[in-house]
Structures are given as structure tokens and as C-alpha cells.
């Protein structure tokens, strides 16, 4: 008798987990997909010299132009 009760409780718990998983999948599929133009943008900031960041240009200007 106790075994049947335990087995039934386990089955009910498994069914509830499956129901919640299916509901989660359904909600996930219904969520709107963000578009690139809707992405949040960082606010424009002035350069902060106190940050201690060394900025090195990726393509330094040709030094031969300065010598001329």
C-alpha cells in the first residue's frame, strides 16, 4: 500500500515537472526576438584621462610624412 502511494507521488511529481517544462518552452517560444536596432546603446562619454588607459592607435601614421 505504501509502495503504491510512493510510486503515485513520484509519477505526479514527474508529470508536474513535464508540465512546467512544456509551459516554460511555450513561454520561451512566445518571447519577442530583439532586433539589432532595438539594442540598448551606451551613453556617449567624454574621454576620462583619470582612468589610466593607454590609447594606442591601431594604424599609426607613417613617420616619414612627419620628417618631410
Q: What is the pLDDT of residue 63?
A: 57
Task: For residue 36, count CB atoms less than 10 angstroms from its CB and return exposed for 0-12, middle for 13-18, buried for 19 or more.
Answer: exposed
Q: Range of 11's domain?
A: 1-30
23 part of a folded domain = yes
Any domain includes 26? yes
Kindly state whether residue 15 falls inside one of the protein's structural domains.
Answer: yes
Residue 20 domain-assigned?
Answer: yes
CA proximity to 30, closest of 40, 42, 22, 39 = 22
CB-count burial class (<10 Å; 0-12, 13-18, 19+) for 54: exposed
- Rounded to two decimals, the pTM is 0.40
> What does the pLDDT look like over 17-57, one tens digit per residue?
999 888 888 877 777 776 666 666 666 656 556 666 666 66
Tally of structural domains, the chain: 1
Q: Give the pLDDT band (50/70/90) at residue 16.
A: very high
Amino acid at each position: 500500500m505504501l509502495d503504491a502511494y510512493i510510486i503515485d507521488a513520484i509519477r505526479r511529481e514527474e508529470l508536474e515537472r513535464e508540465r512546467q517544462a512544456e509551459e516554460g518552452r511555450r513561454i520561451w517560444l512566445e518571447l519577442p526576438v530583439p532586433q539589432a536596432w532595438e539594442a540598448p546603446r551606451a551613453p556617449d562619454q567624454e574621454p576620462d584621462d583619470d582612468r589610466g588607459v593607454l590609447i594606442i592607435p591601431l594604424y599609426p601614421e607613417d613617420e616619414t610624412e612627419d620628417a618631410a
